[in-house]
Chains A and B, each alone.
Chain A
Amino acid sequence: MAAVKETVAAVADLEKYQHGFVTDIEQDFAPKGLSTDIVRFISAKKNEPEWMLAWRLEAYERWLALEEPDWAKVNYPKIDYQDSYYYAAPSRKAGPMSLDEVDPDILETYKKLGIPLREQEVLAGVQGAPRYAVDAVFDSVSVVTTFKKELAAVGVIFCPISEAIREHPELVRKYLGSVVPVSDNYFACLNSAVFSDGSFVYIPPGVRCPMELSTYFRINAKDSGQFERTLIIADKGSYCSYLEGCTAPMRDENQLHAAVVELVILEDAEIKYSTVQNWYPGDPVTGKGGIYNFVTKRADCREARAKVSWTQVETGSAITWKYPSCVLRGDGSSGEFYSIAVTNGHQQADTGTKMIHLGANTKSRIISKGISAGKSSNTYRGLVSAHPKAVGSRNFTQCDSLLIGKDCAAHTVPYIEARNGQSVFEHEATTTRLSDDQLFYCQQRGLDTESAVALLVNGFVREVLQELPMEFAVEAQKLVAISLEGSVG
C-alpha cells in the first residue's frame, strides 16, 4: 500500500507548471540574430583560445550549407534563426567565483526550483542523505559549480565547459566533437557554432565518482535560445552517475533549446546518465509557447566492456526531438535506454534511441514507455543495427504506448538492421488505452479518477522509474502525475 499512499500524496500536490516564473535580473545580451560576428562575440565572451573560435566558425560555415530536417513526426512553424538571442548572461558576473558572489536573485531562483547550491545545505540534511554536486547553467552561462574541491581531491574534473576549454584544452581538443561530429545534423551543427556553456566531466582511470554529478539548466531570458554542450569522459575502469534537469518560464513565444551531449566511455568504464526534462510545455489549451527541444545525445563505448545507461523522463517541451544513442564499438560493451515520454495538451514528442552494434558480443536493451493524452502526439523512433563484425550481439526492445483520450496519437517507428548471422534481436511493442476495468477497480476502492490514472500510469512506467537514482525517481513520479493532470474526464 505504500505505493498507493505515495501516489495519492503526489497527486494531492498537483499544481500546474510550477517552474514557469521569470527571474527579473539584469542580463547581457548579444545582439539578436546569427552571423560570424555573433560566433566571434560568444567566443570572445568566453575568453576562448584561437582553435576554439576556428572550430566554431567552421561549424557555422557548415551549418549554413545544411537544411533543417523535416522527417520527424512533429509540426511547427518555420523557425526564424535571426530572431533570437544566442547569448544571454546575467551581468555582474566575471569569471569563476564563490557562491557568495552569485547574484542573490539567481540563488533565489534555484532555491525556488529546489536545487541545492549551498554545499552546507546539502550537508545539513539527515545523516547519510545522498549528496550531489551541481553545475547550474543559467541561460548562456554556468553560474556556479558545487563540490569542485571535494571532487578534485579524487581527480575528478567537474566544471563548466567554458572553463575546461581554457584549463584542460588537451582533453577538450581530444574529445570534443569526437562522438557527435560538427556536421552530424542540423541542430548539432548549430550548437557547435554557438554553444555557450554546459558541463565538462573527466573521471580518471579506476575512480568511482564519490557523488552524483548533476547539471541544472534554466532558460530565463526572453527570445533567447539555449545551446549547451556537455562532454563527459569516463577513463578506464571508472564510474559516474550524472543527472540533468531543466525548466523554463512560461512564455507565449517558442524558444529553442538545441543541446549536444557527448559521452566517451573507455575500457571497463560506466556512465549512467539520467535526464528529467521539464521545459515549459506551452499552454495546455491553446498550445501557445513552450520550448523546442532539439537535442543530440550520443555515447561512444569506445573500448572493451564499456557500459552506458541512458534514462530519461520527458514531460516538458512543446516539441521534443531527441534520440540518445549508443555506439557500441568496444567488444563486450553494452548500452541501455530507459525512457518515459509523457505528452499532454498540444505537446509533440518524437524520441527514441539508436543502438549501433559494431563490436563483438555487444548488448543493448531498450525500454520505452510513451503516454499520450489531450491533443498530443508521441512517437517512438529507434534504430538497432548490427554490423558484420558484431557477432554475438544481442538486443531486446520493448516499447509500449498508452493512450488517454480520443484526440491523442501514439506512433512506433522502429528500424532494425541485422548484418550478421550470430546476433539476436528481439523487439516488441504494444499500444493500448488505459483499461476501463482497472480504472473502475481503483475508483471502486475510493480513488478519484485522477488519482486512479496517476496510479495506473505509475504502474505502467515503473520499469523505467526503477532505473532513476532514488531522489529523482520520486520527483519523476510526481512529474508524470502532474503532466497528466486534467487528461481524463
Chain B
Amino acid sequence: MTLATAIATGDLTQLPSRRDEDWRWTDLRGLIRVLPAASPAFDGDVGAGPFAADETVTIVNGHGPAAIAIPAGEARTVALRVVAATDGTAHAARLSVTLGQGARLTLLESHEGRAASYLTQTDLDVSLGEDAALERIVLVADHAEAVTIVDAAVTLAAGASFDQTILTAGARRQRIETRVSHPGQGAAVRLDGAYLLRDQRHADLTTVVTHAGRDGTTSQLTKGVVRDQARGVFQGRIVVERGADGTEARMGHHALILSDRAEVDAKPELLIFTDDVQCAHGNTVGALDEAAIFYARQRGMPEDVARAMLTEAFVGEVVERIEHEGAREIARAWVSQQLGAGE
C-alpha cells in the first residue's frame, strides 16, 4: 500500500491513511481525492542542481537511469538529481544503488520541484557489499503544493558503513523513509536529518533500523524547526532481533516549535529482543531557551539576531556531522537560507 502503487493502478484505496499506524501523522488517503494524470516525459532544460560532482545522474518526471553501480574497490562521488518538472501530474521512479566490496560512494542527492502540485514517489534500493561505505546527503526542495514520498531500503553487508543526512523544507505532504537492514558484524549506521518548515508545510522523517547480527552500531540525530502552521513528524524505530548481542544504538530527536500553531509529532521506538544491548533514545520538543536569548541580548545582540543565531546553532549539530566537505558547506548555506527566509 503505497503512493507508487496508487499511481500505477489508479486505485485510491492503495493510499496509506491515518488508520495505518505507521502513517497516522501523514495521511494521504484523506488528502488525495483524485489521482492526477501520469507525468509526461520532459526534455526541456532543468537548470543546475544544488550539488556539483564529476558524475551526475538525472531523473526527470520519473524517467532516467535505473541503476548506479560502483564496482568493488572503487571510490566515486555522484550527484543524483530527481526532478519533477510538470504541474499537476503524478509519477514514480525506482533506482538501485549497488556498492561492491570495499567500494566507496558519496551520493549527493537532490529532489527538485520545478513545478507545483505534483505527486511523486521515488524508491531507492541500496545494497552495500562487505566493507563498502556510502555517504548519502539528501536535499529535498519540493514545491509547497507537492505531495512526495522518498523511500530508501538499505541492505548492508558485514563491515559496511552507511551515513545519511536528510535536509528538507517539507511540502504539502511529504514523507522521507529509510529502512535499513543492519547485519551487525562491525557494520555502522548513522542516520541524521533536519526539517525546517514554515507556512503550512509538512515533513515526515521515518526510519527503521533492524539489527539482525552481533556488534552493530547505530547513531541517529534528527532536528526540526517548525513555525507558522507547519507540521513536523519524526518516527524512528530501532529493532534488535534475537541474537543481535553487543548492539549499540542511540537515537535523538529534538525539535523547536517557533509559533503557536505549529505542530511536532514524534514516535521514537525501541523494540528489543535480546539482553546484551545498549540502546537509548532522547526526545525533546519545546521553544527556544529564553534564558539563552536574554544572555545574548544582555551582551548587546538584538533579539531577532539572537534567536536566529540560537536556531542556527541548534540545527548546526546535524550539519557538522556531514563528512563530505563540499556538501557540508552547501548544507550550512541551505540552513541559513531556510531560517532566514521570510524574516
Q: Are A433 and B280 in contact (CB under 8 A)?
A: no
Q: How many angstroms between the C-alpha atoms of A404 and B272 in the bound complex? A: 12
Contact partners of A418 in chain B: CB under 8 A: 255, 257, 263-265, 285
A430-B285 in contact (CB<8A): no
Residue B13, interface by CB 8 Å: no
Taking a contact as CB atoms under 8 Å apart, the answer to whether A71 and B21 are in contact is: yes
**Cross-chain contact A403 with B286 (CB below 8 angstroms):** no
The reply to whether A423 and B267 contact each other, CB–CB distance below 8 Å, is no
A residues in contact with B265, CB < 8 Å = 415-418
Q: Whole-angstrom distance between the alpha carbons of A122 and B265 in the complex?
A: 50
**B279 lies within 8 A of chain A by Cβ:** yes
The answer to whether B268 and A403 touch across the interface, beta carbons within 8 angstroms, is no
> In whole angstroms, how far apart are the Cα atoms of A341 and B313 in the complex?
40
In the complex, A361→B333 CA distance in Å?
38
User: What chain A residues lie within 8 Å of B267 (beta carbons)?
Assistant: 413-416
Residues A433 and B283 in contact, CB atoms below 8 Å apart: no
Binary per-residue interface labels of chain A (67-78) against chain B in the complex, 1 for a CB within 8 Å, 0 otherwise: 000010000000
B262 within 8 A of A: yes
A97 at the interface (CB under 8 A from B): no
Q: Is the CB of A405 within 8 A of B263?
A: no
CB-defined contacts of A433 to chain B, threshold 8 Å: 275-277
Contact with A along B272-290 (1 / 0, CB 8 A): 1111111111111111000
Question: A45 to chain B: closest CB distance in Å?
Answer: 40
Q: Could you tell me the distance between the alpha carbons of A421 and B262 in the complex, rounded to whole angstroms?
A: 7
B interface: dominant SS: strand
Expressed in whole angstroms, the Cα–Cα distance for A75 and B29 within the complex equals 30
Chain B residues near A430: list those with CB within 8 A.
Answer: 279-280
Q: Say if the beta carbon of B266 comes within 8 Å of chain A.
A: yes
A277 to B176, CA, bound (A): 43
Query: Contacts of B260 on A, CB cut-off 8 Å?
Result: 388, 391, 420-422
Whether the pair B281, A428 counts as a contact (CB closer than 8 A) is yes
Known interface pairs A421-B258, A433-B276. Does A427 touch B282 (Cβ–Cβ under 8 Å)? yes
* Complex alpha-carbon distance, A425 and B286, angstroms: 6
| CB of A437, distance to nearest CB on chain B (Å) | 13
Q: What residues of chain B lie closer than 8 Å to A409, measured between beta carbons?
A: 271-273
Q: Is the interface of A mostly helix, strand, loop or mixed?
A: strand
A416 contact set on B, CB distance < 8 A: 264-267, 283, 285
- How far apart sit A349 and B267, CA to CA, in the bound complex (Å)? 20
**Residue A260 at the B interface, CB < 8 A?**
no
Chain B interfacial residues counted at CB < 8 A: 34
A405 touches B268 (CB 8 A): no
Kindly state the separation between the CA atoms of A39 and B264 in the bound complex, as whole angstroms.
45
B277 adjacent to A411 (CB under 8 Å): no
Residue B270 CB within 8 A of the other chain = yes
Asked whether, in the complex, the Cβ of B277 is within 8 Å of the Cβ of A426, the reply is no
Find out whether the CB atom of B266 lies under 8 angstroms from the CB atom of A421. Answer: no
Closest to A407 in B: B242
In whole angstroms, what is the CA distance A422 to B276 when docked? 39
When the two chains form their complex, are residues A425 and B283 in contact, meaning their CB atoms are under 8 A apart? yes
Q: Smallest Cβ distance from B32 to chain A, in angstroms?
A: 23
Q: Residue among A416, A428, A430, A433 with the most chain B CB within 10 A?
A: A416
- B285:A403 contact, CB within 8 angstroms: no
B269 within 8 A of A: yes
Q: Which residues of A contact B276 (CB under 8 A)?
A: 433
Q: In the complex the two chains form, is B286's CB within 8 Å of A410's CB?
A: no
> Which of B259, B263, B272 sits near A403, CB closer than 8 Å?
B272
B298-325: CB near A (< 8 Å → 1, else 0) gives 0000000000000000000000000000
Query: Hey, which chain A residues are within 8 Å of B242, CB to CB?
Result: 406-407
Residues in B with CB closer than 8 Å to A25 are: none
Contact call A431/B269, Cβ cutoff below 8 A: no
A421 to B285, CA, bound (A): 9
* CB-contact partner of B272 in A415, A427, A431, under 8 A: A431
B87 → chain A closest CB, angstroms: 32
Contact of A406 among B259, B261, B275 (CB under 8 A): B275
Give the residue of B258, B262, B272, B283 whose beta carbon is less than 8 angstroms from that of A411: B272
Contact with A along B239-263 (1 / 0, CB 8 A): 0001000000000000101111111
Contact A424 B287 (CB under 8 A): yes
Contacts A419-B263, A422-B260, A424-B287 given; does A412 touch B275 at CB 8 Å: no
* Complexed CA–CA distance, A422 and B261 (Å): 10
Closest to B263 in A: A419
Expressed in whole angstroms, the Cα–Cα distance for A426 and B283 within the complex equals: 6
User: A286 interface residue, CB < 8 Å from B?
Assistant: no
Indicate which residue in A407, A413, A423 contacts B286 across the interface (CB closer than 8 Å).
A423
The closest CB in chain B to the CB of A71 belongs to: B21
| Alpha-carbon separation in the docked complex, A417 to B269 (Å) | 15
C-alpha gap A24/B26 in the complex (Å): 56
Across the interface, name the chain A residue whose C-beta is closest to B282: A428
Of B268, B275, B281, B284, most buried by chain A (CB within 10 Å of CB) is B275
CB 8 Å contact bits of A168-211 with B (1 = contact, 0 = none): 00000000000000000000000000000000000000000000
Residues from chain B with a CB closer than 8 A to the CB of A444 are none
Q: Which residues of A contact B259 (CB under 8 A)?
A: 421
Contacts of B284 in A (CB 8 A): 424-427
- B257 to chain A: which residues have CB within 8 Å? 418, 420-421, 423
For the complex formed, measure the closest distance between the CB of B184 and the CB atoms of chain A, giving whole angstroms: 16
Contact with A along B77-98 (1 / 0, CB 8 A): 0000000000000000000000
In the complex, which residues 422-450 of chain A have their Cβ closer than 8 Å to any Cβ of chain B?
Answer: 422-433
Residues A424 and B275 in contact, CB atoms below 8 Å apart: no
The answer to whether A408 has its CB under 8 Å from any CB of chain B is: yes
Contact A431 B286 (CB under 8 A): no
Q: Knowing A414-B267, A416-B265, A421-B259, say if A405 contacts B285 (CB, 8 Å).
A: no
Query: Is A431 touching B280 in the complex (CB atoms < 8 A)?
Result: yes
Distance (whole angstroms) from the CB of A412 to the closest CB of chain B: 4
| Complex Cα gap A426–B284 (Å) | 4
Check if A427 sits within 8 Å of B275, measured CB to CB. Answer: no
**Judging by beta carbons under 8 Å apart, are A421 and B287 in contact?**
yes
Which residues of B from 16 to 42 have beta carbons under 8 Å from A? 21
A417 to B267, CA, bound (A): 9
A401 interface residue per 8 A CB criterion: yes
Residues of A48-83 whose CB lies within 8 A of B:
71
Contact A406-B283, Cβ < 8 Å, known A388-B260, A391-B260, A417-B265: no
Q: Which residue of B is nearest A424, CB measured?
A: B286
- Residue of chain A at shortest CB distance from B287: A421
Give the one of A404, A407, A430 with max B CB within 10 A: A430
Q: B residues engaging A (CB < 8 A)? A: 21, 242, 255, 257-287
Other A-B contacts than A412-B268, A421-B260, 9 sampled, CB-CB below 8 A, are: A388-B260, A403-B272, A413-B269, A414-B268, A416-B283, A417-B265, A418-B255, A421-B262, A423-B257
**13 pairs from A and B in contact (CB 8 Å cutoff):** A403-B277, A406-B242, A411-B269, A412-B270, A421-B260, A423-B285, A423-B287, A425-B283, A426-B283, A430-B280, A431-B272, A431-B278, A431-B280
Q: Which 7 residue pairs spanning A and B have beta carbons closest together?
A: A403-B275, A424-B286, A433-B275, A427-B283, A421-B257, A416-B266, A431-B279
